[in-house]
Amino acid sequence: MDAEFLQDMLPEQQAGENSVTGAKQIQGDGLNSPAAESLQPNADQASVAAPKSRRTDRKRARKVPAGVTTSATAKNKKRVGQPKNQSVAQKRAVQNSAVTEKTAPTEEKKKRKKRKIKSDAELVKDNGPRVRELRLSLGLSQAGLADGICTQATISLVEKQNKMPSMDTMIKVAERLHEQVSDLIMRQDSYAHSRLQFIEDQMHHYKFKQAFNALLTIEESRIESNALVRQYHSMMGALELLTRDNPVEAGGHFARVLATTKQNTNAIANVVAKLGLGLAYADLGKLEKTQVLVKDATKVLGGIDTNNANLADDGVALYWYLTMCYQALSERALAVETSKQAITQALKNGNLYLLDEIYATTAECLESLGGARNRNKAITATQRALSLARIVGNQDLVNKLVAKSDESVIVNCK
């Protein structure tokens, strides 16, 4: 007999025990005892009370098998905790809450089971954007990536997260993308993935100090894949070089990016690392090494259709780095031309990230060319850089441009 049934039957059992005790008392003291007098009905009520007493005795005598709920018990259960004169809506609300309490554990189990199945089933499918990002970084079309492996439609469905391909297909796709298959099927809730995404967002909002401090909290030994290791060192290199003026540390990080990549890969992130390393060498005065790295980078760019390929933020950084490398090598005309490509790529992406920095670099390149026309263009570029820097909150650049403008006014007044 379960605990719920025992609890429901407890009032009836207590009533039965009280009736037996009363009967013994009556039997011992006789009909004239106080207990007997209290049980005897009045003369006016005798005809009504007697039949009711007989019905009650029959109910008490009836044996209820274990595990069976009688209609009387069910009614008692419904009445428990319900006040009199309860409306139909209130009764339904109480009944619904009781049903919810009973079914909640079952529904929770179903949800947990469903979540587990979804997590396993979408292990590959959730990385569709990663496949697309790597494909575009190599300048490959969907047909080019699928050639000899699967259909173009399969690649399209994978990137849209509508298809989970076989492991054999994923291995071949990973090889063509110059990546390990573990990088493509990596769980999105990994140790480093969410942290690096947060830090990247911080950088996009020009919170470079916070981003750098957050990177310092990541243990490189716990980063799960080469792709994330490269992303980590690429961020560290950019912050060390461009916000902390530390070319030695920056060069070390960019070198690590190149060391964790297969040879002869044309990934845009790799080209960015080469140019970042070139900038570090330029800051150290080793321009011959900068020249070699720039030559390698431009060779890769020549094989990529930048008009059709969405290079995303890496593409913007690439052209910006290349502009600064040309400026360091005194290739001023090439620097101006490359800065225009950087602006085009930034506008194509539809966001303002790095656009203020690019306009500021463009202004420097135009000023270095000399001539009244170039100086006017430089002033326009500086004004745009200052406006954008204020909009995005790049206070370091604002201070730099304002100080430079004040110096220019002082010089012109002399």
Q: What pLDDT does 10 receive?
A: 39
- Domain's final residue, options 15, 48, 77: 77
Are 9 and 73 members of one domain? yes
- Domain's final residue, options 77, 92, 116: 77
- Domain's final residue, options 42, 62, 77: 77
Residue 410: burial class (beta carbons within 10 Å; 0-12, 13-18, 19+): exposed
Give the end-to-end CA distance of the chain in Å, rounded to a whole number. 104
Are 329 and 412 members of one domain? yes
Mean pLDDT by 10 residues, the chain (414 residues): 38 44 43 43 45 50 51 49 56 57 51 41 59 78 91 88 79 83 62 85 88 91 83 93 90 91 67 93 95 91 62 78 94 92 84 89 91 93 94 91 69 44
375: CATH: 1.25.40.10
Are 313 and 411 members of one domain? yes
Does a structural domain hold residue 170?
yes
- Integer angstrom CA distances of residue 371 from 302, 330, 376, 409: 31, 17, 9, 18
Does a structural domain hold residue 11?
yes
Does a structural domain hold residue 316?
yes
Q: What pLDDT does 352 receive?
A: 85
Does a structural domain hold residue 233?
no
Are 165 and 61 members of one domain? no
134: CATH: 1.10.260.40
Number of structural domains (the chain) is: 3
Burial code (b: 16+ CB inside 10 Å, e: under 16) for 96-120 equals eeeeeeeeeeeeeeeeeeeeeeeee
Are 414 and 308 members of one domain? yes
Does a structural domain hold residue 374?
yes
Are 59 and 133 members of one domain? no
Q: What pLDDT does 391 receive?
A: 92
Are 71 and 138 members of one domain? no
Contact 359, 382 (CB under 8 A): yes
Q: Which domain holds residue 68?
A: 3-77
Structure tokens at 357: 């920095």
Q: What is the largest CA-CA distance in the chain?
A: 131
Does a structural domain hold residue 238?
no
Are 72 and 136 members of one domain? no
Cβ neighbours of residue 392 closer than 8 Å, sequence gap 6 or more: 205, 206, 352, 353, 356
Contact 127, 186 (CB under 8 A): yes
Structure tokens at 276: 């970042």
Does a structural domain hold residue 87?
no
SS3 46: helix
Angle at 410 between CA 405 and CA 414, to 5 degrees: 145
Does a structural domain hold residue 395?
yes
Which phi and psi angles does 177 have, rounded to 5°? -90, 5
Are 43 and 136 members of one domain? no
Neighbours of 196 (CB within 10 A): 20
Q: What pLDDT does 6 receive?
A: 32
- Integer angstrom CA distances of residue 175 from 9, 83, 127: 71, 72, 16
Are 72 and 140 members of one domain? no
Cβ neighbours of residue 289 closer than 8 Å, sequence gap 6 or more: 278, 281
